[in-house]
């Protein structure tokens, strides 16, 4: 019998982070109790909240708790009040430092648009319905981490650098996922301009030839990919990207689903899995009971998949789907004939459906 008791660390963070983490906790506590799985939670300060309290966005105590846990559920960090802080005190620095410390190099960002949600997108339902793609984004390398970086008196610079092993390991993740899905990978680069992208394309092709020739591989420039995602999103199965391109393209995919608040993600490959909605701290709606909690709730389903609890994950996903099918929507993705609810009510609606959809 597998492990039936898990230690989860919650990092609510800033802005709407605490609201969506409260929502996810409520849903997973209920779902786990119904499934006879025991969960213990530890909550720790992180991001701007941690800078205010301790002077650092990733306090040692928070990191140690994460490293001792079975899984980490993170809300979001950041806000204008910390934009003036020194780099090491900024919430986003804490986030990058956490991902790096965990060694979470593979960021999985699934984007699906079932027919019944297609009307929430600003794009035509006939274009987005049936979209089912997985963005596999390299997370702890590339220009966000490259050295040297800095500012001179009238210029500033960053470094985009990838090594062959860094590219190879993320390419393997993408090919493995393609095998479990629909068998195709589109690798994104800018090899018409960047040396790093030429290496990226070479290494991805090499790994493909060596071990994954059963998977269909094609390459696409990032600017074309941005257009193709909007024009014809159903053509994609697995999209393989570096850190910055993946950051930007995954926000773009939120237009397919209607809202950034819908998108979950998992950061894997390191000591402990880190699960977080794709969105940021949304200071414009923080504290207003307007945040869509679904990205965070579905991120918790990804956490349970990683903990080898697929039934629990399925139950959470089905409860979310049923709430949406029943017409409940937060303000960010209202559609005709839908019932507008706030964060708390959406959470309760999903929680109430857990027992109905028992896997």
222: left (phi over 0), alpha (psi -120 to 50) or beta: alpha
Determine if 189 is a binding residue for ligand NAD (CB under 6 A). no
How many Å apart are CA 311 and CA 314, to the nearest integer? 5
How many Å apart are CA 353 and CA 333, to the nearest integer? 20
Which residues between 83 and 102 bind ligand NAD (CB under 6 A)? 92, 95
**Looking at the chain, which runs of residues are DSSP E strands?**
5-13, 38-43, 71-76, 106-112, 132-138, 150-151, 156-157, 184-189, 216-221, 238-241, 266-268, 274-275, 328-329, 339-340
How many Å apart are CA 261 and CA 333, to the nearest integer? 9
Contact criterion met (CB below 8 Å) for 162 and 242: yes
Using the contact rule CB under 6 A, the part of the chain among 31-39, 165-173, 290-298, 314-322 near ligand NAD is 290-298
Kindly name the residue from 14, 93, 162, 190 that is annotated as catalytic. 190
- Least separation in angstroms between CB 260 and ligand NAD: 4
Which residues between 237 and 266 bind ligand NAD (CB under 6 A)? 259-261
Encoded one letter per residue, x for contact with ligand NAD by CB under 6 A and - for no contact, window 304-333 reads ----------------------------x-
Report the residue from 28, 77, 106, 316 that binds ligand NAD according to the rule CB under 6 A: 77
- Least separation in angstroms between CB 207 and ligand NAD: 28
Determine if 66 is a binding residue for ligand NAD (CB under 6 A). no
> How many Cβ atoms from other residues are within 10 Å of residue 54's Cβ?
14
Size of the site for ligand NAD (CB under 6 A): 23
Report the residue from 253, 281, 299, 309 that binds ligand NAD according to the rule CB under 6 A: 281
How many Å apart are CA 46 and CA 62, to the nearest integer? 7
Active site residue 144: yes
Which residues between 4 and 63 bind ligand NAD (CB under 6 A)? 16, 20
Report the residue from 60, 147, 154, 284 that binds ligand NAD according to the rule CB under 6 A: 284
Q: Which residue's entry shows tokens 């993408």? A: 174
* Selection from 104, 15, 101, 22 nearest residue 59 by Cα: 101
Give the nearer residue to ligand NAD in terms of CB position, either 79 or 141.
Answer: 79
Determine if 285 is a binding residue for ligand NAD (CB under 6 A). yes
Angle, to 10 degrees, between the axis of helix 243-257 and the axis of helix 222-231?
10
Kindly name the residue from 7, 251, 289, 344 that is annotated as catalytic. 251
Give the nearer residue to ligand NAD in terms of CB position, either 189 or 332.
Answer: 332
Contact criterion met (CB below 8 Å) for 143 and 160: yes
Give the nearer residue to ligand NAD in terms of CB position, either 92 or 305.
Answer: 92
Kindly name the residue from 14, 247, 328, 332 that is annotated as catalytic. 247
The residues facing 107 across adjacent strands are: 137, 267
Phi, psi of 128 (to 5 degrees): -95, -25
The number of CA neighbours under 13 Å toward the Cβ of 11 is 33
Residue length, the chain? 359
Determine if 78 is a binding residue for ligand NAD (CB under 6 A). yes
- Least separation in angstroms between CB 13 and ligand NAD: 6
Active site residue 190: yes
Report the residue from 28, 32, 72, 76 that binds ligand NAD according to the rule CB under 6 A: 76
Determine if 350 is a binding residue for ligand NAD (CB under 6 A). no
How many Å apart are CA 267 and CA 273, to the nearest integer? 6
Contact criterion met (CB below 8 Å) for 42 and 7: yes
Token pair listed for 134: 């997985």
Binding site for ligand NAD (CB under 6 A): 16, 20, 76-79, 92, 95, 259-261, 276, 279-285, 291-292, 295, 332
Give the active site residues: 144, 190, 223, 247, 251
């Amino acid at each position: 019998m597998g492990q039936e008791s898990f230690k989860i660390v919650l990092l609510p963070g800033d802005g709407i982070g605490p609201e969506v983490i409260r929502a996810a906790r409520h849903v997973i506590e209920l779902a786990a109790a119904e499934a006879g799985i025991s969960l213990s939670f530890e909550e720790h300060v992180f991001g701007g909240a941690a800078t205010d309290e301790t002077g650092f966005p990733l306090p040692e105590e928070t990191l140690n708790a994460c490293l001792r846990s079975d899984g980490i559920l993170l809300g979001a960090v950041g806000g204008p009040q910390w934009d003036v802080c020194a780099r090491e005190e900024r919430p986003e620095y804490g986030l990058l430092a956490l991902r790096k410390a965990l060694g979470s190099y593979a960021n999985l960002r699934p984007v699906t648009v079932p027919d019944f949600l297609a009307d929430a997108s600003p794009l035509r339902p006939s274009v987005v319905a049936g979209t089912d793609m997985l963005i596999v984004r390299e997370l702890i390398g590339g220009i966000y981490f490259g050295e040297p970086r800095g500012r001179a008196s009238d210029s500033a610079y960053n470094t985009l650098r990838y090594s062959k092993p860094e590219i190879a390991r993320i390419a393997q993740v993408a090919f493995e996922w393609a095998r479990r899905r629909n068998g195709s990978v589109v690798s994104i680069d800018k090899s018409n301009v960047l040396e790093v992208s030429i290496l990226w394309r070479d290494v991805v092709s090499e790994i493909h030839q060596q071990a994954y020739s059963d998977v269909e591989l094609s390459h696409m420039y990032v600017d074309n990919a941005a257009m193709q995602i909007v024009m014809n999103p159903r053509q994609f199965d697995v999209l393989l990207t570096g850190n910055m391109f993946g950051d930007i393209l995954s926000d773009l995919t939120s237009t397919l689903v209607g809202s950034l608040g819908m998108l979950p993600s998992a950061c894997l490959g390191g000591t402990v899995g880190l699960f977080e909605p794709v969105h940021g701290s949304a200071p414009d709606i923080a504290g207003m009971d307007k945040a869509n909690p679904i990205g965070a709730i579905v991120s918790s389903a990804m956490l349970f998949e990683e903990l080898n609890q697929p039934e629990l994950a399925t139950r959470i996903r089905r409860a979310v789907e049923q709430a949406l099918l029943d017409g409940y929507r937060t303000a960010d993705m209202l559609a005709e004939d839908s019932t507008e609810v706030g964060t708390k009510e959406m959470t309760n609606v999903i929680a109430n459906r857990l027992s109905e959809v028992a896997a």
